[in-house]
Amino acid sequence: MTNNELNRFQTLLAARVVELERLVSDRDAITVERSADQLDEIQGASERALAVSNLDRDFTHLRNARAALRRIEDGSFGTCQRCDEDIHPKRLAAVPWAQFCIQCQETMDRNPEMTEAPVRDFLLNVA
């Protein structure tokens, strides 16, 4: 991968990190407000559940984008973390924080137990 491509991905990922940090800092949607009306309570609980789900997704994307920036810094960006093959540029263009090539990702999607150990090890290294 050329330096220009790496710089482009770094800029893209840095902008995504800024955007996600702004999104995850806004937690007003998960505040609990009591209402005398049971229907309002149910609707509020549903809206909070959706907000928590969105917040969880945004935190996951933020963690992945930061990890991709670290891979750019350490020179491993664009290399599959499982098989050490290059990740196809089209995959990186679609998912710049991708840490696995499409074949390894598909294998892990079909066999979720394969993901547990690498993800756990990865998260321990990130923390």
Which pLDDT belongs to residue 1? 79
Question: What's the rounded Cα separation, in Å, for the pair 69 and 14?
Answer: 7
Beta-bridged to residue 79, according to DSSP, are 86
Q: What is the dihedral of CA 32, 37, 38, 39, to 10 degrees?
A: -90
CA 75, 73, 89, 104 dihedral sign is: positive
Cα separation of 46 and 34, whole Å?
A: 13
What six digits make up the tokens of 84?
């050490």
9-66 pLDDT tens trace: 999 999 999 999 988 887 665 666 777 788 888 888 888 888 888 889 999 999 999 9
Provide the pLDDT for residue 38: 83
The residue-averaged pLDDT of 63-92 equals 95
